[in-house]
Amino acid sequence: MIPTEVLLAFLAASALITIAPGPDNLMVLSVGISRGRCAGIGFGLGCALGCFTHTLWATLGIGAVVLASATTFMTLKMAGAAYLVYLGVTTWRYAGKMAPINLDQGGGEPIGAHVRRGFIANVINPKVALFFIAFLPQFVDQSRNAVWPQMLVLGGLFAAQTVLIFGGIGWFAGNIGARLRRQPMLAVWLERCAGTIFIGLALHLATAGR
């Protein structure tokens, strides 16, 4: 349905965008270092699921309709910023008090908890929604009647490569964190650094324009 050369160009562009420093991979990196491999991988998987959700919104036209309203955009933006602040403050507050780190069990928490956090952090970010509305149509053949299946395929491929890249970032970050956490006090500061990153990203999102 989609020419091979278009798919290859799309995957290359998607990989470069995903690897480039940004809020999502920075959060995956900080969670992986502070809470372990499974936590980082789980958070990355949640971000990938959020990306596919944005694809559905873009495909159905919901994203464009919702974001056409400045009020709605501002509401989503502030909700996303508030959630990141919540994650940051919670991480700071419970640094060193959470369940003991377990690299095989998501840092002492079920991996599903990290997937949920990554999903929410991604899906309520209107900047991500705008990205998908602008990015996906560039690789869609508008002359064909089946536009929405092309959008879904491209969005699925984007989410799949995001899982691989974010999973790799979370895995390597967890390995680095495991070495750094050999000192108990350092483990506390690693979690506080992760909380600070979340709060910093919240401020960046809250002050960003459309």
Q: Please state which of the ranges 44-48, 81-85, 191-195 shows the lowest mean pLDDT.
A: 191-195
158-168 confidence digits (pLDDT tens)? 999 999 999 99
- The pLDDT of residue 197 is 84
Name the helix (H) or strand (E) containing 139. none
184-207 and 70-93 are packed helices; what angle lies between their axes, rounded to 10 degrees? 170
In this structure, of 23-27, 42-46, 101-105, the range with the lowest mean pLDDT score is 101-105
98 pLDDT more than 70: no
pLDDT reported for residue 100: 42
- DSSP letter for each residue of 119-135: HHHHHT-HHHHHHHHHH
Average pLDDT over residues 131-160: 85
Q: Is the pLDDT of residue 76 over 60?
A: yes
CA distance 7 to 176: 34
Between CA 54 and CA 188 the distance in angstroms is 35
Q: Residues near 88 by Cβ (< 8 Å), separated by ≥ 6?
A: 195, 196, 197, 198, 199, 202
pTM of the model: 0.80
- In one-letter notation, the amino acid at residue 126 is P
Out of 98-102, 119-123, 148-152, give the one with best mean pLDDT.
Answer: 119-123
Q: Give the mean model confidence (pLDDT) for residues 24-34.
A: 88
Q: What is the pLDDT of residue 101?
A: 47
pLDDT at 29 over 80: yes
Most confident of 85-94, 131-140, 188-197: 131-140
Tokens 């919702």, residue located: 66
- Rounded Cα distance between 56 and 104, Å, is 32
In which residue are the tokens 């600070």 written?
196
Kindly indicate the confidence band of residue 184, based on its pLDDT and cuts at 50, 70 and 90. low
Distance between CA atoms of 178 and 186, rounded to whole angstroms? 11
Q: Round the average pLDDT of the chain to a whole number and report it.
A: 82
Where helices occur in the chain by DSSP H, the ranges are: 4-19, 23-35, 37-60, 62-67, 70-93, 111-123, 126-135, 147-180, 184-207
Tokens of 34: 């502070």
**How sure is the predictor about 97, in pLDDT bands with cuts at 50, 70 and 90?**
low
Q: 111-123 vs 37-60: helix axis angle to the nearest 10?
A: 40
The percentage of the chain sitting over the pLDDT mark of 70, rounded to a whole number, equals 86
pLDDT of residue 89: 87
What band does 50 get if pLDDT is binned at 50, 70 and 90? very high
